[in-house]
Structure 1
C-alpha cells in the first residue's frame, strides 16, 4: 500500500505508527505541491513550480525532481491510502490523485479528520493528538475515485489562480479574493507591517472555515497591495 500525505509532520507520524506496530513499513509519499495556489493548466511539474513561485509560495530546488518521483510512486501503486483534513491543499490532493489513479484504481482508502466523531478547534492533521491517530484508521472510508476525478476535471476547466474551502466545499476564486479583507485589516490595525496584516487576515479565514492555508500567499498579496496603496 502507498500511504500519501501532504506535509512532513504527518509523514513522520505515519512512519511512527508503523514502528509502534512493528509492521512492515509501507511506502509513504508526501505530495510536493500546494494545489490551492496557482493555475493548474498545463498540469506539469515545471508549470506548477512557476505558478507557486510567482504567487509567493516557497518552493524547494528539488521540487520538479520530487514531483516526477511522486508521479512514479502513484503510477506503481496498487492500493492507496490518503491522510487528509478539510484544508484545501489536502482535499485538492485527494481530487488530483483520484484522477491520476483512475481507472487503474477504482477506490481509495481515506483517513480524514472530517470522519472522526470528535471535533477539534483546529482542522489540522499535524496538530492531531497522538492518542487520536488510530481513530483515523478506525473511521477511515473507501471512496470511489471516479467521483473525485470529476471534481478535479471541473477545477482544471475553471483553471483559476486560487482554490479555497468555502461553506463546506472547494471553490475556484480569483487571485484577489482576499484583497478586500487584507485592506480592511491593514486599515483597522493602522500598520504597514506585512507579516502582522497577512497573519491576521489568514487567521480570520482559517478560523471562519476551520482549515489551513498558506501564510506565504497572504504575505505575497499583502506586500503587493501595500505597494499599490
Structure 2
C-alpha cells in the first residue's frame, strides 16, 4: 500500500436506484447551450454553433435533498436543470451508433452558475471555471440504471423554485442528442467509466436566493431537490 503525506480524499459517488452500490464519479463534463431556446435567451444563434464543453470537478457534487450555503463571491447565482448521463464504459472516438452501449444510467442535475462571474469571464475572454466549478455547484439525484428508465430522448424537463415553475422544456428539444454528445466528447477526451455528462438546460434560467427551495425533474428519470440556506 502506498504511503500518503495525508489521507486522500474520498471518491465522489452517487447512489443508484434499486441497489446498495454507489456510482463512483470520475469526471463531470457539461454541454453548453444544448437547448435552442436557452441559446437564444443567452444571445446566441443555435443554428450556427458546434457543441462545446466545460467541466466541473467531481467533488462539486451534492446529493439531492441537501441544503447548501449561498455560493460565495457572487451576487447573481442562477439555476440550470439538466439531464445527467452516467457512463459505465469509456474510450476514444466512439461511433455514434455504439455510444448508448457506454451508458450506465441517467439522473437529474443542477448546474449552478455564478452568472455575474461568467459574464465577466466572457467579456475578458477568460475560462469559465470560476463561474461553474465552485463548491457544491453540481447537485444531482440518484442514478437510475438503463434497465429501469431506458434511454430517455423525450419527456418533460422542469425546475420549480418555491413551487413556481421557472424552466419547462422537453428532452426532444436538445440540439445534440445523447449519442452525439458522447461521440463528440470522445474525440476530445479519453472517456472513462464513472464519467457524468450534464446534457444542457432549457430556457428559463434565472437567479436564486437565500431560503429558496429548488425542485427539478425529468420524466421517467427522477427529481432533484435543493435548499439554499
TM range (shorter): under 0.3
Larger radius of gyration: 1
Structure with the higher fraction of residues in strand conformation? 2
Structure with the higher fraction of residues in helix conformation? 1
- Structure with the bigger RCO (C-alpha within 8 Å, sep 6+) is 2
TM-score, normalising length from structure 2? 0.25
